[in-house]
C-alpha cells in the first residue's frame, strides 16, 4: 500500500500523510489519529529507496541557484541579501508540506548534469530555479525530460514546445512603472535608470516599465541617462559613477535602480561624491529587501513579497508532483510602492 492509498482512505492529501509519518506539528490532532489508525491497520511503512525503485516520487525538492559573480570572488549565497531569504522561505514552506530541500549552486553548465542525475536517480521529485537567465536552454532541456520544475523570474514563452512547468514572477513591468511615475509625480523629469542584468527577465521588463512611464508624458529618454548593471552592489556603485562623473554636463535629479542592492551601491557612490540624497538626487529601488528600511536615508522602493513568491512556487510545485499536473502555470505577484526618505519633491 502506498501513501496515496492511505490518503484516499483517510480523506486527506498525500502531503498530510507525509506530515503525519514524519511527525510534523502542523497537523490537526483528529487528522493525525485518523491517519495513524489507517497506517496501523494496513501496516504501511514508508521506505525512501523502495519508493524510488518503484518509480514513486521522493519527498525532496531542489533549490538551484544560478551563480552571480561578485568581482573575482566566487559567489556565496549568504552574501546575497535577496537570494538568502528566498531560499530560507522555500525551505520553510516545503518543510510545512512534509518535504525536505536540497540546495545546489549552478556555477557552470556541468552543474546541470548533476541536477539531471539527481532527477534520474529519483532523489529529487522537483526543483525551483532562482536567478537563472531568461529562456535558459539547459533548464528547458530538463523540463522536456519530464521533470517537475518551477522557475522564479522567467518569461512566459508560448512558442516553446514544452508547457509543463511553473513560472512565478514579480509584476516587474508594473512595479518599475510605479517607481518611475512616483519620481515624475514628485516633479522630476531628468530621471536616470540603472538597469539590472538584461539576460534576466526582470532586468528587461523593469527597463520597459521605466520607458513606459517616461514616454507617457513625453519625457525624452537620454542615452547617457541609462546604464547597465548586474543586480550587485558593486554594479550599482559603478553605474552611479558612470551617470554622474560629469555632473556639469547632465542635470539628473532622480535615479530608478532595477533593484535595491544596486540602489544601495549607487547611494554609496553619491555619498562619496558629496551628492545629497534626496536633496540633490532622489533614488528608488526595487524588491524591498530587509536592509532597505535601515540604510540612511531609508530607501523608497517597490515591494513584491519574497515570502509570497516562495510560497506560490513551493506549494504549486509540490501540488504538481503529488497530483501529476502537467501544465504551464503562470503567477504574477503584485508590486506596491513603498515611499521612504530617499525621494523628495523637486
pLDDT digit string, tens, across residues 174-185: 999 999 999 999
Query: For position 295, what pLDDT does the model report?
Result: 96
Give the confidence band of 107 by pLDDT, cuts at 50, 70, 90: confident
pLDDT of 219 reads: 80
Whichever domain contains 92, its CATH number is 3.40.50.2300
Instruction: Mention every residue, 6+ apart, whose C-beta is less than 8 A from residue 216.
Output: none
Q: Decide if 183 is inside a domain.
A: yes
Predicted pLDDT at 51: 52
Distances 221 to 214, 236, 246 between C-alpha atoms, Å: 7, 20, 18
Q: What is the mean pLDDT of residues 246-257?
A: 80
State the Cα–Cα distance between residues 320 and 333, nearest whole angstrom: 19
323 vs 73, higher pLDDT: 323
Backbone angles phi, psi at 334, to 5 degrees: -60, 150
Q: Among 21-25, 217-221, 252-256, 296-300, where is mean pLDDT lowest?
A: 21-25
Which pLDDT score is estimated for 185? Answer: 97
- The string of pLDDT tens digits covering residues 5-43 is 888 888 998 888 888 877 777 889 999 899 888 888 877
Please give the pLDDT value at position 40. 80
As beta bridge partners, residue 169 has 332
Average pLDDT of the chain is: 88
CATH value at residue 33: 1.10.260.40
pLDDT at 249: 55
Do 116 and 99 share a domain, yes or no?
yes
pLDDT surpasses 70 at 47: no
Q: What percent of the chain has pLDDT over 70?
A: 90
Residue 79 binned pLDDT confidence (cut-offs 50, 70, 90): low
Domain that holds residue 105: 60-170+306-334
- 76 plus 103 within the same structural domain: yes
State residue 101's pLDDT score.
Answer: 96
Q: Is the pLDDT of residue 273 over 70?
A: yes
Same domain, residue pair 196 and 273? yes
- Judgement on whether residues 191 and 68 belong to the same structural domain of the protein: no
Looking at the structure, do residues 184 and 248 belong to the same domain, yes or no? yes
Tell me the average pLDDT across 272-290: 96
Strand, helix or coil for residue 145: coil
Alpha-carbon distance 233 to 239, whole Å?
Answer: 10
Name the least confident of 50-64, 232-246, 284-298.
50-64
Residue 253 lies in a domain: yes
Mean pLDDT of all residues in 51-77? 65
| Judgement on whether residues 294 and 236 belong to the same structural domain of the protein | yes
- Report whether pLDDT(242) > 70: yes
User: How many domains are there within the chain?
Assistant: 3
**How large a percentage of the chain has pLDDT more than 90?**
64
Residues 149 and 243 in one domain: no
Specify if 55 maps to a domain: no
Instruction: Give the three-class secondary structure for 331.
Output: strand
Same domain, 182 and 282: yes
Looking at residue 55, its pLDDT comes to: 52
- 88, 191: one domain: no
For the chain, where are the E strands, in sequence order?
Answer: 60-66, 100-106, 126-130, 148-152, 166-170, 191-195, 226-228, 254-257, 282-284, 301-303, 329-333, 336-338
Cis omega before residue 53 (within 30°)?
Answer: no
* pLDDT of 69 strictly over 70: no
Amino acid at each position: 500500500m502506498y501513501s496515496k492509498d492511505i490518503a484516499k482512505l483517510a480523506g486527506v492529501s498525500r502531503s498530510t500523510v507525509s506530515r503525519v509519518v514524519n511527525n510534523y506539528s502542523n497537523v490537526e490532532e483528529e487528522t493525525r489519529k485518523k491517519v495513524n489508525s489507517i497506517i496501523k491497520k494496513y501496516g504501511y511503512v514508508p521506505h525512501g529507496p523502495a519508493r524510488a525503485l518503484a518509480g514513486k516520487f521522493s519527498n525532496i525538492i531542489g533549490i538551484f541557484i544560478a551563480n552571480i559573480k561578485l568581482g573575482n570572488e566566487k559567489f556565496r549565497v549568504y552574501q546575497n541579501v535577496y537570494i538568502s531569504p528566498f531560499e530560507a522561505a522555500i525551505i520553510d514552506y516545503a518543510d510545512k508540506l512534509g518535504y525536505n530541500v536540497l540546495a545546489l549552486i549552478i556555477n557552470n553548465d556541468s552543474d546541470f548534469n548533476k541536477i539531471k542525475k539527481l532527477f534520474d536517480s529519483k532523489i529529487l521529485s522537483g526543483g525551483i530555479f532562482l536567478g537563472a537567465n531568461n529562456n535558459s536552454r539547459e533548464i528547458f532541456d530538463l523540463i522536456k525530460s519530464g521533470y517537475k520544475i518551477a522557475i522564479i523570474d522567467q518569461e512566459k514563452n508560448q512558442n516553446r514546445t514544452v508547457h509543463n512547468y511553473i513560472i512565478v514572477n514579480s509584476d516587474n513591468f508594473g512595479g518599475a512603472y510605479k517607481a518611475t511615475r512616483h519620481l515624475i509625480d514628485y516633479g522630476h523629469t531628468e530621471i536616470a535608470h540603472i538597469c539590472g542584468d538584461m539576460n534576466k527577465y526582470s532586468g528587461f521588463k523593469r527597463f520597459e516599465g521605466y520607458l513606459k512611464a517616461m514616454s507617457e508624458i513625453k519625457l525624452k529618454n537620454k542615452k547617457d541617462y541609462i546604464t547597465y548593471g548586474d543586480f550587485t552592489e558593486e554594479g550599482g556603485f559603478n553605474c552611479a559613477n558612470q551617470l554622474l562623473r560629469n555632473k556639469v554636463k547632465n542635470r539628473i535629479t532622480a535615479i530608478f535602480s532595477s533593484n535595491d542592492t544596486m540602489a544601495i551601491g549607487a547611494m554609496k557612490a553619491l555619498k562619496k561624491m558629496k551628492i545629497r540624497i534626496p536633496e540633490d538626487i532622489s533614488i528608488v529601488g526595487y524588491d524591498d529587501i530587509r536592509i532597505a528600511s535601515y540604510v540612511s536615508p531609508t530607501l523608497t522602493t517597490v515591494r513584491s513579497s519574497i515570502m509570497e513568491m516562495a510560497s506560490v512556487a513551493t506549494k504549486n510545485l509540490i501540488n504538481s508532483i503529488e497530483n501529476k499536473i502537467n501544465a504551464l502555470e503562470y503567477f504574477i505577484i503584485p508590486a506596491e510602492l513603498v515611499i521612504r526618505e530617499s525621494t523628495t519633491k523637486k
